Amino acid sequence: MKNPKTGKQKNIWLGFHKKDRLERIAILKENNIITPEFSDILENNVNLSCDTAGQMTENNIGTFALPLGIAPYFIVNDIEYSVPMVTEEPSVIAACSYAAKLISKSGGFTVKIENRKMIGEVALYDIPDFDKAMEDILKNKNDILRIANESYPSIVARGGGAENIEVKILKEGDTSFLVVYLTADVKEAMGANILNTMLEGIKPLLESITGGKALMAILSNYAVNSLVTSTCEVDFSLFSNDKAQAFNIAKKIEMASKFSKMDIFRATTHNKGIFNGIDAVVIATGNDWRAIEAGGHAYAVKDGKYSGLTEWTFDEENNILRGKLTLPMPVASVGGSIGLNPTVKTAFNILNNPDAKTLAGIIVSVGLAQNFAALKALVSTGIQKGHMKLQARSLALFAGAENEEVDIVVEKLLETNHINSENAKNILKEIRNK
Ligand code: HMG
């Protein structure tokens, strides 16, 4: 295991979650995981300014804060990362760190990225002869690609640009479309603006070639040319002294993975758990989480049935549980809000400024880790034990507990069998009346 910044082998994370916020930032700073410019941002909790926010979106009246945390222990392709995560949900970051720590004992995650291209489409209708139109588009492919590239010359200058077109005829009842799919290499960008500009650029030519009308020209978030696969192996013999119990959990995780392919009610929650982690990193890195969610859920139905996105198989002979997650992950390392939001820049600094592909690999690995932690809890202790322990803190705050009252309310709440806001309020009342 090699940490690119610390170069250290020692476990600097032990007890990290028990420290206070400034102590945690100090650990990041002392171990060169964050540079002073960005640790200052965290220490002073510098956020997006209203001036910048007002330029980013419309009718601005303020900014909206969410908790930012760190999930350490991530080893991805032999490099160690501490992953910034933004989430309002208790236990997500704890679960992710827990899984990453266990998985790091078996070597961490291996990521494969075959491609990093974006697809967009122009839908044409009212075409006099669909077959001839299709033939003519393919004959004029080079001209279409040239015009696409002329519409967005800066991406060509950066070594990317429009690369291919494919054509399909879609027919349902009396409605037919001829769809032209354009594939482009968008380098480090997410690519929406690049693709949309190119597609609008080629629209008039496509109308003139086909004699039809363009209904729309738009990027697709079904980014199947940006698939990322993360795999991991978990050596269950390292898990506990009770080997039989550990193997039983591994077998049940395999069953849970199969169950998520069979039942849509489970598949939806299974995938929600995966996106607990994925969204948290996508948001922390200033990327478009709606695009990533839409692409992920569409990919979950690629075989015609909405299914759980991960696969876990238990190799009983070698006591190894193998996990795999493949997802479209067209995240960017530049563009959008990435350069504007100081917290996003800080997240990139903590991750050692990864390029788009590296970031995509980290994010898919986080999804796999998150799913592992949830499944392990679900098939053993149940989710409430770990989750509610951490949820108790939110309940105490919600009840109005302040400063040292929070710990007392949490402790007393966990002693009861009813971890709910009503109980938290009663406990707080009791403490204050003493
Ligand atoms: P534990 O065994 O009590 O943990 O598990 P531990 O005290 O032995 O600590 C082990 C490591 O976990 C620590 O390492 C930390 O990395 C991490 P160390 O620091 O000692 O080197 N850890 C924490 N990190 C930050 N803050 C903490 C903390 N505690 C442990 N407070 C744990 C406790 C919560 C991790 C475990 O019970 C768990 O993973 N539960 C699953 C919780 C979960 O999945 N939550 C997600 C939200 S629930 C949901 O919405 C999704 C779901 O519906 C999806 C689905 O159905 O698939 C479940």
Tell me if 426 is assigned to some domain.
Answer: yes
Residue 234 makes CB contacts below 8 A (sequence gap 6+) with 102, 103, 106, 250, 320, 321, 322, 323, 372
Ligand 1 atom with the shortest distance to the CA of 69: 25
Mean pLDDT of 67-88: 97
β-pairing, 161-172 vs 79-86, is unpaired
Q: What is the pLDDT of residue 8?
A: 53
Confidence of residue 336 (pLDDT cuts 50, 70, 90): confident
Q: Which of 98, 266, 410 to mutate to test the pocket of ligand 1 (most atoms within 8 A of CB)?
A: 98
Question: Which residues surround ligand 1 with Cβ inside 6 Å?
Answer: 13-14, 16-17, 89, 91-95, 97-98, 101, 269-270, 272-273, 276, 373-374, 377-378, 383, 386-387, 390
Residues 26 and 75 in one domain: yes
DSSP 3-state assignment of 61?
coil
Residues 375 and 307 in one domain: yes
Mean pLDDT of 330-341: 90
Of 182, 199, 219, the position where a domain reaches its end is 219
Residues 233 and 324 in one domain: yes
Nearest protein Cα to ligand 1, atom 51: 273
- In the reported structure, the alpha carbon of residue 158 is separated from the centroid of ligand 1 by a whole-number distance in angstroms of 42
Nearest protein Cα to ligand 1, atom 46: 92
Residues 259 and 377 in one domain: yes
Q: Report how far apart, in Å, the C-alpha atoms of 264 and of each of 292, 300, 308, 350 are.
A: 20, 11, 8, 37
CATH number at residue 178: 3.30.70.420
Q: What is the DSSP letter of 18?
A: G
CA 11 to CA 3: how far, in whole Å? 11
Nearest protein Cα to ligand 1, atom 49: 273
More confident residue, 79 or 9: 79
Mean pLDDT, rounded, of the chain: 94
Ligand 1 atom with the shortest distance to the CA of 381: 37
Tell me if 8 is assigned to some domain.
Answer: no
Report the sign of the C-alpha dihedral through residues 379, 383, 384, 390, in that order: positive
For the stretch 86-145, pLDDT in tens is 999 999 999 999 999 999 999 999 999 988 999 999 999 999 999 999 999 999 999 999
Residue 156 has pLDDT above 50, yes or no: yes
Q: Which residue in the block uniquely carries the two structure tokens 């690119």?
A: 4
More confident residue, 326 or 392: 326
Ligand 1 atom with the shortest distance to the CA of 89: 47
- Dihedral pair phi/psi, residue 200, rounded to 5°: -70, -30
- In the reported structure, the alpha carbon of residue 411 is separated from the centroid of ligand 1 by a whole-number distance in angstroms of 18
Is the overall model pTM greater than 0.85, yes or no?
Answer: yes
Mean pLDDT of 150-155: 97
Nearest protein Cα to ligand 1, atom 50: 273
- In the reported structure, the alpha carbon of residue 233 is separated from the centroid of ligand 1 by a whole-number distance in angstroms of 19
Tokens found for residue 216: 């729309």
- In the reported structure, the alpha carbon of residue 91 is separated from the centroid of ligand 1 by a whole-number distance in angstroms of 6
Residues 376 and 408 in one domain: no
- What's the per-residue H, E or C state across 83-98? EEEECCCCCHHHHHHH
10 Å CB burial of residue 107 (0-12, 13-18, 19+) is middle
User: Across 15-19, 235-239, 381-385, 402-406, which has the greatest mean pLDDT?
Assistant: 15-19
Nearest protein Cα to ligand 1, atom 1: 386
Q: What is the pLDDT of residue 1?
A: 45
Residues 248 and 392 in one domain: no
Instruction: Provide the 10 A C-beta neighbour count for residue 44.
Output: 9
Q: Which residues pair with 182 in a beta bridge?
A: 120, 165
Ligand 1 atom with the shortest distance to the CA of 99: 39
Residues 241 and 312 in one domain: yes
For the stretch 232-290, pLDDT in tens is 999 988 777 788 888 999 999 999 999 999 999 999 999 999 999 999 999 999 999 99
Tell me if 165 is assigned to some domain.
Answer: yes
Residues 94 and 238 in one domain: yes
Position 306: which residue type?
Y
From the list 272, 305, 385, 429, the catalytic residue is 272
CA 361 to CA 70: how far, in whole Å? 17
Active site includes 89? yes
Residues 165 and 137 in one domain: yes
Looking at the 3D structure of the chain, how many domains does it have?
Answer: 3
Q: What is the pLDDT of residue 239?
A: 73
Q: What is the pLDDT of residue 85?
A: 98
- Dihedral pair phi/psi, residue 174, rounded to 5°: -100, 15
Tell me if 3 is assigned to some domain.
Answer: no
Mean pLDDT of 336-345: 91
More confident residue, 277 or 390: 277
Percent of the chain past pLDDT 90, that is, above it, reads 82
Residues 366 and 263 in one domain: yes
Tell me if 166 is assigned to some domain.
Answer: yes
CA 59 to CA 393: how far, in whole Å? 34
CA 47 to CA 342: how far, in whole Å? 6
Q: What is the pLDDT of residue 9?
A: 56
Q: Which residue in the block uniquely carries the two structure tokens 């690999």?
A: 361
Residues 122 and 108 in one domain: no
CA 430 to CA 328: how far, in whole Å? 51
Q: Which residue in the block uniquely carries the two structure tokens 């049935």?
A: 305
Mean pLDDT of 34-60: 95
Active site includes 422? no
3-state helix, strand, coil in the chain (%, to 5): 50, 20, 30
CATH number at residue 421: 1.10.8.660
Confidence of residue 5 (pLDDT cuts 50, 70, 90): low
For the stretch 94-108, pLDDT in tens is 999 999 999 999 999
- In the reported structure, the alpha carbon of residue 428 is separated from the centroid of ligand 1 by a whole-number distance in angstroms of 26
- Indicate the Cα dihedral angle 70, 369, 332, 63, nearest 10°: -40
Of 219, 247, 277, the position where a domain reaches its end is 219
Helices and strands in the chain: count of H runs, count of E runs = 16, 10
- In the reported structure, the alpha carbon of residue 126 is separated from the centroid of ligand 1 by a whole-number distance in angstroms of 56
Tell me if 4 is assigned to some domain.
Answer: no
Tell me if 125 is assigned to some domain.
Answer: yes
CA 145 to CA 58: how far, in whole Å? 34
Tell me if 422 is assigned to some domain.
Answer: yes
Q: Which residue in the block uniquely carries the two structure tokens 């698939």?
A: 227
Nearest protein Cα to ligand 1, atom 12: 98
- In the reported structure, the alpha carbon of residue 311 is separated from the centroid of ligand 1 by a whole-number distance in angstroms of 21
Structural Rg of the chain based on CA atoms? 25
Domain that holds residue 76: 16-113+227-381
CATH number at residue 310: 3.90.770.10
Q: What is the pLDDT of residue 242?
A: 82
- Indicate the Cα dihedral angle 298, 303, 308, 327, nearest 10°: -50
Confidence of residue 53 (pLDDT cuts 50, 70, 90): very high
From the list 252, 288, 311, 345, the catalytic residue is 288
Position 224: which residue type?
V
Active site includes 387? yes
Confidence of residue 3 (pLDDT cuts 50, 70, 90): low
CA 36 to CA 81: how far, in whole Å? 18
Residues 23 and 99 in one domain: yes
Q: What is the pLDDT of residue 82?
A: 97
Of 359, 381, 403, the position where a domain reaches its end is 381
